[in-house]
Chain A
Amino acid sequence: MSKLILERLKAQFGDDILEVSSFRGDDVAVVKPSRWLDVARFVHDDPRCDCTYFADLSAIDNCDPRTDELDMDDRFEVYVIAYSVAKKHRVRIKTRLSGDEPRIASVIPVWSGANWMEREVFDMFGVHFEGHPDERRILTYDEFKGHPLRKDYPANRTQPLVEYRDGTFNKLGPFLQDEGMPLNRTVIPDERQ
């Protein structure tokens, strides 16, 4: 993979690019949250980068609730992957956000396709995108509480829209505590609700 984009980014933004790496051929640049939109716009508009194709936008939760504080710094990593169809190179731009009220600028002005992906990140991680025209949940429903892909959201919690019936007809939720979990499964306790 060509490191051209990473070099262009370092020349243009200097210290605002926190780190660059090329693990297994994936070019990654970590940027300061304040320059997120500028970097995205540069990668899109610069004729030598020319990354007009929007490949992906999502997030990673780096908090392990067994050891870390929930409002730790650098808890969420939001990334966007951009590709150039003409030059056949791609880059992954990442930024790190604190676990307390994560906020980041929306990249919809650069790639219009970011709309649904940012809605999904908001839905799944609770990261807010400033300037997003339509910040609603997309995969879950409006009544849903919490953000399911956060590591402190227990996998066995259910939020049925129609409550389970009691009495003789006892319908059970999909994941039960005593459902045979193999030794290797990561079980995060359900206390922190």
Chain B
Amino acid sequence: MEPVDLDFEEADLELPSEPMTLLMGPSHPAMHGTIRMVLKLDGETVQDVDIQPGYLHRGFEKMSERGTWSQVFPYTDRLNYVSPLLNNVGYALAVEKLLGIEVPRKGQIFRVILGELSRIADHLTGNGAIAMELGAFTPFLWYLKAREWIYEACEEQTGARLTHSFFRIGGAAFPPTEKLQAQIRSILPRVLEVIAEGESLLLKNRIFLDRTQGVGILTKEHALGMGASGPVLRSAGIDYDVRKDKPYLTYAECDFDVPVGEDGDTYDRFMVRSEEMRQSCRIIEQSLDLMKKIAPGSPEDAVSITDPRIVLPPKEKVYSTIEGTIAHFKLIMEGINVPPGEVYGYTEAGNGELGFLLVSRGGGNPWRVRVRGPCFFSLQAAHDMIRGKMLADIIPTFGSINMIGGECDR
């Protein structure tokens, strides 16, 4: 039998192929149930991707315009629902900027402590999810165990595990409970231990390293132009942290480092979050010490201001005096009278710069509440992290952005 003619060029042997369109999500588990990606695939390579957010759009900004300034707090809980206290702090600070007031020192330290606890919870979830989506289920469960302790501390203070609505314009709902400080001090070493345990499982794991190192690279210039912030920006090598660059509350008095990555890949984003949790623990410990130094009974020793036009009177006064009843009624029915103006208040939330652009025309209702959700910007930058790479790399890349639907779609 005559042999097959071997004079073919290699290229002629390749089958002609057309790009295939594949819809990924919104019900795909790695898309967190809220994002759809329309992928154009050439074999396993992603030629182009169209990321479509919006499945969790609830009209946050429209709803905020309908109520009073204080009625926005429950909505902010549902922005980044893994770290609600940080959103409460961000909104409260923005309104206080518009009002031109500052809460007493103890209230500021209190906000730092609870905010940093929330940040640890946020990063534990984010890092656990990266591992879980790559098939490593154990670190996820361990990280969630630590998150549970943090939620218990938040529950001890605020009474709620997830949607706290705890901070108020001009302060907080309650002063720190008696047990809180001891509880936080007891969980911090255990949380640090869990973080180290999780890392010990992952950072020597060949599969985890191969699937994260050099995957989903975001360059410096691109990260800047896209407006990515938080761990996504810092992993690309840009040292920008609102807590350092424009210190608010008592962050200027705390000694902490801002971890910065080099390559901007998924591995760096994981490591930046890991290190940030340790730094948050340092901040909390220093803040607890700062709180101890406040002399009892001094003007600093209060979590809220006392202006009756802004802060609700204590319940005993509402039920026993006419002034208290009137002040309560006016604040609930008419809202806080915020002077006309426009400010942009921004803080460092779990995923980066959380900004609120507030416009007031006087009276008790906001005219416009714009939320700059950091995830929305980072997700946009994901387009270039994914394009030209393998289909399977989408999962760790997308996981490392820590996209939270509530904050992205608002």
Q: Indicate whether A and B interact.
A: yes
- Please give the residue numbers on chain A whose beta carbons come within 8 Å of chain B beta carbons, in ascending order: 23-24, 26, 28, 52-56, 58, 60-61, 79, 81, 85, 88, 92, 111-113, 115-116, 124, 137-141, 148-149, 153, 155, 182-186
- B342: contacting residue among A23, A111, A115, CB under 8 A: A23
Contact mask B398-410 → A, CB, 8 Å, 1/0? Answer: 0000000000011
Contact A139 B364 (CB under 8 A): no
**Contact partners of B355 in chain A: CB under 8 A:** 55-56, 81
**Contact partners of B57 in chain A: CB under 8 A:** 139-140
Give B120 Cβ to nearest chain A Cβ, in Å: 26
Flag whether B297 is at the interface (Cβ < 8 A): no
**Contact partners of B286 in chain A: CB under 8 A:** none
Contact B368 A61 (CB under 8 A): yes
Q: Tell me the complex Cα distance, A52–B381, Å.
A: 15
- B357: contacting residue among A56, A111, A116, A182, CB under 8 A: A56
Contact B225 A54 (CB under 8 A): yes
**Contact partners of A113 in chain B: CB under 8 A:** 225-228, 377, 380-381
Flag whether B209 is at the interface (Cβ < 8 A): no
Contact A141 B54 (CB under 8 A): yes
Flag whether B389 is at the interface (Cβ < 8 A): no
Given contacts A60-B359, A155-B62, contact A139 B54 (CB under 8 A): yes
Which B residues from 212 to 263 make CB contacts under 8 A with A?
Answer: 221-222, 224-228, 238-240, 245-246
Contact B226 A112 (CB under 8 A): yes
**Contact partners of B222 in chain A: CB under 8 A:** 112
**Contact partners of B346 in chain A: CB under 8 A:** 55
Contact B344 A92 (CB under 8 A): yes
Q: Tell me the complex Cα distance, A55–B334, Å.
A: 33
Q: Tell me the complex Cα distance, A116–B378, Å.
A: 11
Flag whether B152 is at the interface (Cβ < 8 A): no
**Contact partners of A183 in chain B: CB under 8 A:** 333-334
Contact B225 A112 (CB under 8 A): yes
**Contact partners of A153 in chain B: CB under 8 A:** 62
Contact A58 B357 (CB under 8 A): yes
Flag whether B66 is at the interface (Cβ < 8 A): yes
Give B136 Cβ to nearest chain A Cβ, in Å: 32
**Contact partners of A53 in chain B: CB under 8 A:** 224, 227, 240
Q: Which residue of B lies closest to A110 (CB)?
A: B225
Given contacts A148-B59, A184-B364, A186-B66, contact A116 B343 (CB under 8 A): no
Contact B54 A140 (CB under 8 A): yes
- Please give the residue numbers on chain B whose beta carbons come within 8 Å of chain A beta carbons, in ascending order: 52-54, 57, 59, 61-63, 65-68, 97-98, 100, 221-222, 224-228, 238-240, 245-246, 333-335, 341-344, 346, 353, 355, 357, 359, 364-365, 367-368, 370, 372, 376-377, 380-381, 409-410
Q: Tell me the complex Cα distance, A116–B384, Å.
A: 14
Contact B63 A54 (CB under 8 A): no
Q: Which residue of B lies closest to A56 (CB)?
A: B372
Contact B334 A184 (CB under 8 A): yes
**Contact partners of B367 in chain A: CB under 8 A:** 60
Known: A23-B343, A60-B368. 18 other contacts (CB 8 A): A24-B343, A28-B342, A55-B355, A58-B357, A58-B370, A60-B357, A60-B370, A61-B368, A81-B355, A85-B240, A112-B225, A113-B227, A148-B59, A155-B59, A183-B334, A184-B334, A184-B364, A186-B365
Return 5 A-B CB contacts under 8 Å, by A number. A23-B343, A111-B225, A139-B410, A155-B59, A184-B333
Contact A185 B66 (CB under 8 A): yes
Given contacts A23-B343, A111-B225, A155-B62, contact A55 B372 (CB under 8 A): yes
Q: Which residue of B lies closest to A92 (CB)?
A: B344
Q: Tell me the complex Cα distance, A185–B68, Å.
A: 8
Contact A85 B224 (CB under 8 A): yes
**Contact partners of B68 in chain A: CB under 8 A:** 184
Q: Which residue of B lies closest to A54 (CB)?
A: B227
Contact B62 A148 (CB under 8 A): yes
Given contacts A23-B343, A24-B98, A112-B225, contact A184 B335 (CB under 8 A): yes
Contact B97 A24 (CB under 8 A): yes
Q: Which residue of B lies closest to A185 (CB)?
A: B66
Q: Which residue of A lies closest to B379 (CB)?
A: A116
Contact B224 A54 (CB under 8 A): yes
**Contact partners of B344 in chain A: CB under 8 A:** 26, 56, 81, 92
Q: Tell me the complex Cα distance, A182–B330, Å.
A: 12
Given contacts A54-B227, A55-B227, contact A88 B53 (CB under 8 A): no
**Contact partners of B227 in chain A: CB under 8 A:** 53-56, 111, 113
Contact B245 A52 (CB under 8 A): no
Q: Which residue of B lies closest to A138 (CB)?
A: B54
Q: Which residue of B lies closest to A60 (CB)?
A: B368
Interface centre among B66, B222, B364 (most CB of A within 10 A): B66
Q: Tell me the complex Cα distance, A139–B408, Å.
A: 10
Q: Which residue of A lies closest to B52 (CB)?
A: A138
Contact B66 A139 (CB under 8 A): no
Q: Which residue of A lies closest to B368 (CB)?
A: A60
**Contact partners of A184 in chain B: CB under 8 A:** 67-68, 333-335, 364-365
**Contact partners of A186 in chain B: CB under 8 A:** 65-66, 365
Interface centre among B65, B68, B227, B357 (most CB of A within 10 A): B227
Q: Tell me the complex Cα distance, A148–B365, Å.
A: 18
Q: Tell me the complex Cα distance, A21–B293, Å.
A: 40
- B376: contacting residue among A24, A116, A185, CB under 8 A: A116
